[in-house]
Amino acid sequence: MAFDFILMLTADDRTIPDARARLEEALEGGARHIGFKDVGLPLAELKGLADAIRNAGGRSYLEVVSLDAESEMASARAAIDLDVDCLLGGTRAEEVTRLTRNHPLRYYPFPGRITGHPSVLEGPAEAIVASARHLAELEHVHGLDLLAYRFAGDVPGLMTQVCAAVEKPVIMAGSIDSEARVREVAGAGAAGFTVGTAALAGAFPADQPGFAAQVRAILAMTTRGRAVSTSPRRIALAAHDTRKAHLRAWVSRHARALEGHQLICTGGTGRMIAGANPALTIKRLQRGSRGGDQQLGALIATGELDAVIFFADPTLPHGGDSDLQALTRLAILHDTPLALGPSSADMVTAALLGETGRAGY
């Protein structure tokens, strides 16, 4: 996630009764990441909501608020039955992952001790950070859902400590109701944040009344927050053989801004870029001819890439044309930015890394 806003159709930790109608307003406002809780509506209505989010091209999230073991397991089974993209929350990761490990959903449990309803995060901070480290080490945990603003202590400090302690993405949740808090979340290194009750209550300054205007206002704040975000971006790099030199030159030109971010490359491209820019963090996949493009496609499908940069040569026939077409289809399907040349790559990275980039141009 490239510092994204997740709209929760919830109030007071429950899915709102008119969630289906509000979804239409949310989509009108431009929301793409949309979630709901496991309580508040019958399962059949939650399924209709999840299907509607998917059919609109969005990414769906179910957040667990159940505190007892039986209810949490029921919620995990509901997430599987609803076929949501992401399961957020819950405190029994070992048990939940026994259910979710064979399902494509991404799982983000709560670190720390959660009590009450609405949920509260209890400390001390050191124990929450230790819990975050433990959860992040579990194979089938893909990230964390931190109830940061439900913590009574130093919230910015806690967020920064948790993000620094783990390599997996951290989503911040709970009472984010102002642009100041959005900026705090971004600066702490979070991959995203959730807003529910505050948007429904009209807490954010907007240019018009109504829920859609609230969504647009929060999205604008998200864009501004992205400019100060310290969360590493995950950018895929690949090129046809006749465009590899162009990609190497482009990476060298942007090397300072790309430092500290995660670059995922097909095999030959990765070796070339690492040789020219040893300070960059590069993960190499298989060569394109040996399945590297398919590996990139899998990362797009699971939401693990913030952008794909593939320098393509349209003038010559290529055996890899079908692979590029497949990547293009997946990028569209999963709303992942795709750049096929230097100018579009400039625009994508400027948007992802902020006006000056993480380390500056």
Phi and psi torsions of 339, nearest 5°: -115, 135
- Sheet strand arrangement including 106-108: 106-108, 86-89, 59-64, 33-37, 4-8, 192-195, 170-172, 144-146
The sign one gets for the Cα dihedral 66, 172, 8, 134 is negative
Contact (CB, 8 A) for 329 and 297: no
Nearest to 293 by CA among 237, 235, 248, 349: 237
Which amino acid makes up residue 1? M
Contacts 24+ apart (CB under 8 A), 39-42: 39/13, 39/14, 39/15, 39/65, 39/66, 40/10, 40/14, 40/15, 40/16, 41/15, 41/17
d(CA 233, CA 307): 8
Out of 4, 13, 293, 323, the active site residue is 293
d(CA 179, CA 222): 9
Contact (CB, 8 A) for 74 and 87: no
Which residues, 6 or more positions from 327, have their beta carbon under 8 angstroms from its beta carbon? 293, 296, 297, 300, 308, 310, 338
Buried b (16+ CB within 10 A) or exposed e, 31-40: bbbbbbbbbb
User: Is residue 10 classed exposed, middle or buried when 0-12, 13-18 and 19+ CB atoms within 10 A define those classes?
Assistant: buried
68 labelled catalytic: no
Angle, CA 155 vertex, CA 154 and CA 158 arms, to 5°: 85
d(CA 349, CA 119): 37
- Catalytically annotated residues: 293
